Chain A
Amino acid sequence: MMRTFLTLACAALVLAPVPVVAQRGHIINRILPRRAAPPQPQLVGIDALRADFLARSGSDTVLFGGDSAILGVPARATLAAQAQWLRQNPQVVIRVEGHAAVSDTREHALAVGARRAEEVRDYLVLMGVPAYQVTAVSMGKERPSGVNARAVTILVR
């Protein structure tokens, strides 16, 4: 299980041929024991998990329109992929951060961010992710980026 996971993590971060080389290296090592295997990126812990999550879910971010918290078709597809990964990694704890537009007022933005974060949390739970894995947090308009009508899934541990 763990090895499968690590291979996947490698696949996520480095170019696709590398795992093949790794396998070949393994074989070559057996045939020619003195020849060193090519160096492998050592991905362990939360960074490896994050890389794998991102690669397999497609995105850690879903977008909304206006002040709404309605999940569109692309958002649902992303969350379904996120949920599948989370079900397979039940030891991972996530934080869903809901954001609102800079043009929103401070307190309404906190409420909009909260509604978005809780909408995403509820959808993930609906898709079979245990509720204890997910915390919903509003960032209001405190962390502006290019697109502010968004919710971001962050792997905490």
Chain B
Amino acid sequence: MSAPTWHSVDLKKQVDGDLAADIEKQGAYVSPEILKVKVEGGKVRFEVKPGADVADTTAKVDRYVDLMVAKFRKIPRKVLHTRERKNKAPLRTGVYEELKKRGWVKELGRGQVALAGPALNVLRAVDADCREMGMSQFGAKEEIYPTLIPSKTLGRCGYFSSFPQTVSMVTHLVEDFDTIEHFRQANAETTDLIVPDPRAFATPEACLSPAVCYHCYRGLENTNLKGGPNVVTTVGKCFRYESTNITGLDRLWDFTMREIVLVGTEEEVSSRREKGIELVKAQIEKFDLQAEIESANDPFFSAAYATKTYAQLRGDLKFELRLTVEPGPGGEARSLACGSFNLHDNFFGRTFTINAQNGEPAFTGCIAWGLERWVLACFTQHGFEPSGWPEAIRASVWGT
């Protein structure tokens, strides 16, 4: 049996570490034949499956890299805050495997996990802290949203042009007796899903929601915020298809996000985002976590990458909370974005005709936490003995 093979395309200009990392990560979506992408020595190297059409895959990689790199213009990242933890014990390794061994994480599918025991307690403790922050510090109202989001809403939010690679679309069989019967018969004797005819699927009217705040903006459509800013806190399941990048608790397909959503005038929203950054600094003190808060960009795809990354970094529109998680296989230090502080200018105000108190299109922003990643970071940094955990959260996680 033949083995996977490595191939490469030349980079037409030099790229820095951040762009190289994004090229590697998003390379997962270039072709189903690709197993891995590495940026090394002025080249993009990629490993393909045995029997792949190398010429076709190479041409795809070349077009992809060209669109990612051609217009890219570097804006230096800003580090707003760095924190070392007080706990001096070494970082735990093999955290995900240990969580599975103890039955506190159960893999139920690709990028789909169940949490139990102290792992679930961590998620709940973090979420409770964020919810309390939203309500006591921002006067947020609570709302709960559907897991589904209309495709029309996501389209109006620009999601399909920015992040098409991560969308999880929801379809169903078309309402047609013969089609449904054909499907039923094809699946009668098997436990795997058999798709006898892809035309049996209806165009997805809905998607699985990739973030919870879009629901909030849609819910405020045609609203004038006469009483001042609208602040909501909510928690929900979010879905981002991560292809071959799906890993442990780092990168789930199905994950849980807590958000505080801000809608108002530019000043009302930006001042609250700044307040959120200060409050999260205090939060990581309480959780005693090694962390950084720095400027960041979303994983825009292909041609949207350079232009939207530039706009985001230039405008300081996104900062991320990065928590240290278990070192990589070679012992390399790793951190993950476990929270973010976002501004969207007045895009959603214009899109959904939401006016702020001053009568102008509302500005929006959000503060978000990826809760499963907090679980990974907390066990990496505090270990599996209750005594290693900070007092402020020890009882809620361990009951002691």
Q: Do A and B come from one complex?
A: no
